[in-house]
Structure 1
Amino acid sequence: LLHETIYQTVLDQLVEAYKQVKVGDPLEKATLLGPLHTPASKVNFEKGIDIIKSQ
């Protein structure tokens, strides 16, 4: 939960942080998020996003 007076600031900071996330080969040290290699992985990821959006 965030107070409405800081919501936009926090959102902007999160957007900038996630722009820095490297998606790629999970064996590389710089990679933070690997591929969604199975249909179940994709579904679970999307469910998580839906949960976040609903809160």
Structure 2
Amino acid sequence: DDWQGGYFCPCHGSKFDLAGRVYKAVPAPTNLLVPPHTYESDNVLIIGVDEENA
């Protein structure tokens, strides 16, 4: 297997690459959704804040 890392769903066996794109021939029908996020600094990532609508 040439697994390059990413995300694995243990419930149904779907695999996603590091960008959240679904691999072919797995149960998941679509890519993972990327939530709204901002970078507060080089070391701090804020997830769930949509600055355009805040």
TM-score category of the 2 structures, normalised to the smaller one: under 0.3
Instruction: Give the TM-score normalised by structure 1.
Output: 0.24
Bigger strand fraction = 2
Bigger helix fraction = 1
Bigger RCO of structures 1 and 2 (CA < 8 A, at least 6 apart): 2
Instruction: Give the TM-score normalised by structure 2.
Output: 0.24
